[in-house]
């Protein structure tokens, strides 16, 4: 269930959010090319911020069960104290990294099984 966040009411806040989305997308693309930077993590962060900014993006992302879970965990983020926000962001980053590694391992296993059959 999407929630309208009062955090994105002002034009300045929307501009900052757009800059953050663009920066995360750029870091994500760099991360996809360089193994040192976690690209999927930054793309995920950009998607979450975009979903909070746009109800259309929120609806589109909620069609995926994994992404819907991330979005549910960030509902009410604007009402949290700063320390709780930092903890939530750190925990979500760790979860995204774990999910990304699990996705990567599953993909590698598929490739290995396909190579063994060939």
Listed by start position, the domains of the chain span 6-117
Task: Compute the distance between CA of residue 97 and CA of residue 102 in angstroms, rounded to an integer.
Answer: 9
Q: Model confidence at 1, in pLDDT bands (50, 70, 90)?
A: very low
15 φ, ψ (degrees, to nearest 5) = -65, -45
Q: What pTM, to 2 d.p., does this model score?
A: 0.56
Q: Model confidence at 9, in pLDDT bands (50, 70, 90)?
A: low
Q: What is the tens place of the pLDDT at every residue in 39-87?
A: 777 888 888 888 888 888 888 888 888 778 878 877 777 777 888 878 8
The predicted structure's pLDDT at residue 7: 53
Task: Compute the distance between CA of residue 106 and CA of residue 118 in angstroms, rounded to an integer.
Answer: 19
Q: Model confidence at 113, in pLDDT bands (50, 70, 90)?
A: very high
């Amino acid at each position: 269930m999407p929630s309208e966040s009062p955090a994105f009411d002002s034009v300045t806040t929307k501009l900052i959010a757009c800059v953050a989305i663009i920066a995360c997308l750029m870091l994500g693309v760099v991360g996809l090319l360089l193994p040192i930077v976690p690209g999927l993590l930054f793309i995920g962060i950009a998607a979450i911020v975009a979903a909070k900014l746009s109800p259309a993006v929120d609806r589109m992302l909620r069609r995926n069960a994994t992404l819907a879970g991330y979005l549910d965990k960030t509902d009410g983020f604007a009402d949290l104290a700063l320390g709780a926000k930092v903890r939530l962001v750190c925990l979500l980053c760790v979860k995204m990294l774990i999910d990304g590694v699990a996705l990567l391992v599953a993909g590698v296993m598929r490739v290995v099984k396909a190579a063994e059959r060939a």
